Every structure is written in structure tokens, then in C-alpha cells.
Amino acid sequence: MKPILVSGIQPTGKLHIGNYLGALKNFVELQNSGKYECFFFVADLHSLTEDFDPKEKKAQIDDVILSFIASGLDTKKSTIFVQSEISEHSELAWILNTITPFGELYRMTQFKDKTQVVFNRLDRETEGQRNGRSSMSVELATDLATNVGLFDYPVLMASDILLYDAKFVPVGNDQDQHLELARTLARKFNSKFGKTFIEPQALHTEVPRLMSLDDPEKKMSKSRPEGCLFLDDTPDVIRKKIKRAVTDSGNEVKFDEKEKPAISNLLLVYSAFGGKKISEIEKMYAGKGYGEFKSELAEIVVKGLTPFQEKKKVLRREMEEVMKEVGDGNRNAKTIALKKMLEIKKRIGLI
Ligand code: TRP
């Protein structure tokens, strides 16, 4: 039997080229390698931990499904499913909660980053208390109370993985700590209740760390739309964003992250979409200026995204058929999850 591979993407809005290069493109290669039994899912329960509009959620879920398939994931080769359709994910998360030390979650850097605002305020409050002010503000208490999901996020992620006996989990290295927790929980459960789970391993592939086109100091993200190339941006929008991308002083197209962060970032994009090494690209543009480089880069990105966009358009018209296939994926995932859950419940002594 092939080793099992599981990964998910959160439906939190528009996907950008960072998601494509970092996840989707990778998933497709892993699927097509034929080396793994692959499961790819829409992590919609995870996405509830961030602010959202219920009216938009379903469209966001559908968008990830369409992006999965448009980028080359194939329901005949991989199980594609929606996390919330498989209630066992939440069920196992609860059970794992009961063996998760509070401190492990409290140390998670992603949690700390996402709640930095709250923590900063907490620090100020504590300071205030020392200065004689009394209890925590209502505002702070509300902030802290609304985000238990954010705190517990890694436990749900561990469930996503352990439920399917996944050996490999393709993720960016920002998820390493979460994966380590999944391993810890697998070990802990096994030693307490008997061998039940496999310890999963992260599967890293080299992924460029893309920065915002309008500020190479900041990570490319949907929260800075002007500096972000979305997978659904029209050719004209892509051309416009690249044209307006900030550049560095001088005019030489050269990779130097310290001295030339903006051009280096554009070179990464060029290399990823053009399939050329950075050194080759530097040679191609020796003696030419930023202008020519940027306009050719725009065409390369447009050309790289066109097949994806075309396919997505066609799929959108066949939404019913797509959803039928995802329904099959859901059923397959459910069958596996149900069986695993029975095993888990027996181990614990619930049944
Ligand atoms: N936390 C992951 C991310 O933001 C998404 C995710 C949720 C995931 N559950 C998972 C990835 C399970 C791999 C396996 O990228």
C-alpha cells in the first residue's frame, strides 16, 4: 500500500500566486508522482477562526475546490473533500484536546502572531494592574474569549492528519510547529492507549518566499491587494500590478536580497513561472533595464495563469458535475474517518 498524504487549504478569500506555488502546484506534482495515496481538503472549519462573512463562506469553499481541480488535482487520482462534511475531524479534535497540554498550544508562534494585538494589550493591562488599576477590560476579555478556536487550531489540524493515518503532510515551513504537535499527540495517545496513530512527517519542497510588490519588506498577502497577484486577476490587472511594482535604485536586474529586495522578489516570480534559474534570467537581462524585465515578467505570469483561469471558467459552468465528484470524495473520506474513529473510541474505552 502506498503511504498516505494529507493536506488542506483554508478558504479565506482569494488565493494568490504564493498559494499556487507554495501549495497547489506542489499538490499536483505529488499526486502525479503516483507515490502516494493523496487526500486534499478544504479546511473550512479552520477558516472560521478568522473574521468572515457567512454570506461569502460557501463561495470561498467552492473557489478552493475549483482551484484544486483547475490546477490539476484530479478526483480520479486523489480524494478531494470538504473538512466540515466529515464530522469526525471535530470529534477527534475534542478527544485530542483532552491529551493536549495547554502550554504546547500557548507556545505556538502562529497563535502568538495572530493574537499579537491581544497580547500587546494584555501586557499593557498587566502594567495597568501593577499601577493600581483593577480587573481586565471587557474589551480585552471579549477578544480573548472569541478566539479559543484560534488557540485550538493546531489540535484540529492534528486531527485532520491523524484521522487518515497520514505519513506525509506537504506544508510550508510556517506549519512545522503544528506538525510537531501532531507527532507529539500521536505519540502521547499511542503510549497512553496503545498504538493507534502514525507519526506524520512534513514534506517540504522548495518554495519561494514571495514579498508584496508594493513593499518588498512585507509578505505577499491578500491583505495588501495592490502588491498581491491573485490567481483570478485578469491579464490587465496583472500587467498593471507588475508595472507599478516598486523597484530598487540602480537599473541592473540582479538578485541581491539585501541591496535589491524588490528586484530579487520579481526574479523569484519570474523564475517560478518561467521555469528558469535566477542566474539565467540575470544573464538574459544583462544590460537591459527594469522596464523591459517587468513587461516580460508580466507576460510570463499571464501566460502561466491562463490555463488555470480558463479551466476554472469551464469548471464553474459544470459546477454540478464538480460537486458530484467532491461528493464522492466526501463519502470516501467519511468511510475512512468513521472506521478510524471506531478504533479510537475502542482504544479509549468509550465503546
Ligand atoms: N494550517 C494549514 C495552513 O494554513 C491548513 C491546514 C489545516 C492543513 N489542516 C491541515 C494543512 C492539515 C495540512 C494538513 O496552511
Q: Residue 110: its pLDDT value, please?
A: 87
Atom of ligand 1 nearest to the CA of 156: 9
How many whole angstroms from 171 Cα to the centroid of ligand 1? 7
How many whole angstroms from 10 Cα to the centroid of ligand 1? 7
Q: Residue 39: its pLDDT value, please?
A: 99
Query: Does 325 lie in the same domain as 274?
Result: no
The CA distance from 141 to 106, in Å, is 17
pTM of the complete model: 0.91
Query: Does 160 lie in the same domain as 48?
Result: yes
Query: Does 284 lie in the same domain as 246?
Result: yes
Grid cell locating 9: 487549504
Question: CA angle 273-274-275, nearest 5°?
Answer: 95
Atom of ligand 1 nearest to the CA of 153: 1
Q: 324: burial class by Cβ within 10 Å (0-12, 13-18, 19+)?
A: exposed
Q: Which residues are catalytic?
A: 114, 219, 222
Atom of ligand 1 nearest to the CA of 43: 7
Atom of ligand 1 nearest to the CA of 9: 5
How many whole angstroms from 43 Cα to the centroid of ligand 1? 7
Query: Does 300 lie in the same domain as 245?
Result: yes
Atom of ligand 1 nearest to the CA of 170: 13
Query: Does 74 lie in the same domain as 185?
Result: yes
Query: Does 247 lie in the same domain as 163?
Result: no
How many whole angstroms from 308 Cα to the centroid of ligand 1? 23
Task: Output the residue whose Cα is nearest ligand 1's atom 8.
Answer: 8
How many whole angstroms from 104 Cα to the centroid of ligand 1? 18
Tabulate helix, strand, coil % of the chain (nearest 5). 60, 10, 30
Ligand 1 mutation pick, 6, 7, 64, max ligand atoms within 8 A of CB:
7
Q: Residue 138: its pLDDT value, please?
A: 54
Query: Does 182 lie in the same domain as 39?
Result: yes
Ligand 1 mutation pick, 6, 10, 88, 203, max ligand atoms within 8 A of CB:
10
| Cβ atoms of residues 225 and 193 within 8 Å | no
Query: Does 303 lie in the same domain as 326?
Result: no
Contacts of 78 (CB under 8 A, 6+ apart): 27, 31, 38, 39, 40
Q: Residue 146: its pLDDT value, please?
A: 57
DSSP state of 23: I
How many whole angstroms from 20 Cα to the centroid of ligand 1? 15
Ligand 1 mutation pick, 21, 38, 46, max ligand atoms within 8 A of CB:
46
| Cβ atoms of residues 235 and 302 within 8 Å | yes
| Cβ atoms of residues 292 and 247 within 8 Å | no
Query: Which residue segment(s) compose the domain that 17 sits in?
Result: 4-100+152-208+319-348
Query: Does 181 lie in the same domain as 47?
Result: yes
Ligand 1 mutation pick, 175, 203, 204, max ligand atoms within 8 A of CB:
175
How many whole angstroms from 328 Cα to the centroid of ligand 1? 22
Q: How many domains does the chain have?
A: 3
Kindly report the length of the chain. 351
Q: Which residues line ligand 1 (CB under 6 A)?
A: 6-8, 10, 43, 46, 157, 160-161, 169, 171, 175
Task: Output the residue whose Cα is nearest ligand 1's atom 14.
Answer: 7
Nearest Cα to Cα of residue 99 among 9, 192, 33, 213: 192
Q: Residue 162: its pLDDT value, please?
A: 99
CATH number of the domain bearing residue 223: 1.10.240.10
Query: Does 41 lie in the same domain as 134?
Result: no
Q: 32: burial class by Cβ within 10 Å (0-12, 13-18, 19+)?
A: middle
Query: Does 324 lie in the same domain as 200?
Result: yes
pLDDT in tens, the chain (351 residues): 999 999 999 999 999 999 999 999 999 999 999 999 999 999 999 999 988 999 999 999 999 999 999 999 999 999 999 999 999 999 999 999 999 999 999 889 888 777 776 656 666 666 655 555 555 565 565 566 557 899 999 999 999 999 999 999 999 888 999 999 999 999 999 999 999 999 999 999 778 899 999 999 999 999 899 999 999 999 999 999 999 999 999 999 999 999 999 999 999 999 999 999 999 999 999 999 999 999 999 999 999 999 999 999 999 999 999 999 999 999 999 999 999 999 999 999 999
CATH number of the domain bearing residue 169: 3.40.50.620
Atom of ligand 1 nearest to the CA of 174: 15
Query: Does 299 lie in the same domain as 243?
Result: yes
